[in-house]
Amino acid sequence: MFSATILSVLGSVALVAGHFTITYPEMRGDSFATGASQYIYPCANVNQTAETNRTEWPLTGGSIALDLGHAWTYAFINVGLGTDYPVTNYSLTNDRPLNITGKGDLCMEKLDLPAGLTVTDGQNATIQVVTVGETGTALYNCADIIFKTSATVLSSDDCPSNSNITTATVEEVSTNETSSTNSTADATTTTTTSGAVGTTSSLATAGFVGVAAVVIGWLL
């Protein structure tokens, strides 16, 4: 009995450790609460209420902070305009996943709104973060915001990231190879930093194919 209880508790701890939270903007609610589940699209079955907290966010984009529980993660960050359960159909990561290596706190001081998306002072919106780990299973959390001209991004002191965490923006490029028959090979480039976007490195084609499979599965 005691052993079974201990194993159950350890299993629950491991499950929670593999999940994630949005630490900024403030999450809509507790996605670990009874009835909620980060496996449920689009916002972990955490419902909006009249008292839903809304964090003020700049009109051109703002800060996002996450507490990650997986050793590596692909993350999609989206925004939807509106008050009542808006569709989060605008990407804050250029329609590409972030490849994040490392557990713990990751803070991005500013994610720009996509080109062509115009918002106004006082407009409500919802940010959705989707993470995909080594099993290919998607996890969801949401944070509700209000765009304000007076809002600012977090300062570097208020936006720390664990030193062991690196991020890479996955991008697809084409390279032409000359041989007896002309062929085109797909490759990927990534932009890697500790907690932000910066220096360039590369990923193997197979890695991008894996990402594409996850993206396609997520969209279906």
The backbone region for 175, taken as left when phi is positive above 0, alpha when psi lies in -120 to 50, beta otherwise, is beta
Distance CA 103, CA 56 (A): 27
Mean pLDDT (the chain, rounded): 79
- pLDDT reading at 53 higher than 60: yes
Average pLDDT over residues 48-69: 93
Average pLDDT over residues 39-47: 97
Neighbours of 128 (CB within 10 A): 25
More confident residue, 129 or 217: 129
What's the confidence (pLDDT) of residue 173?
A: 61
More confident residue, 88 or 6: 88
CATH 3.30.70 fits 18-171, yes or no: no
What's the confidence (pLDDT) of residue 1?
A: 43
Residues 6 or more apart whose CB falls under 8 angstroms from that of 82 comprise: 124, 125, 126
CA distances from 176 to 36, 171, 185, 202 (A): 49, 17, 6, 17
List the chain domain ranges.
18-171
Kindly state the helix (H) or strand (E) to which residue 187 belongs, with its residue range: strand 183-193
Distance CA 134, CA 154 (A): 31
More confident residue, 205 or 125: 125
More confident residue, 154 or 209: 154
Please give the share of the chain, as a percent, with pLDDT higher than 90: 63
Highest mean pLDDT among 14-18, 83-87, 144-148, 216-220: 144-148
What's the confidence (pLDDT) of residue 49?
A: 79
What's the confidence (pLDDT) of residue 51?
A: 75
Q: What is the pLDDT of residues 163-192, one digit of tens each?
A: 999 999 887 765 554 444 343 334 344 444
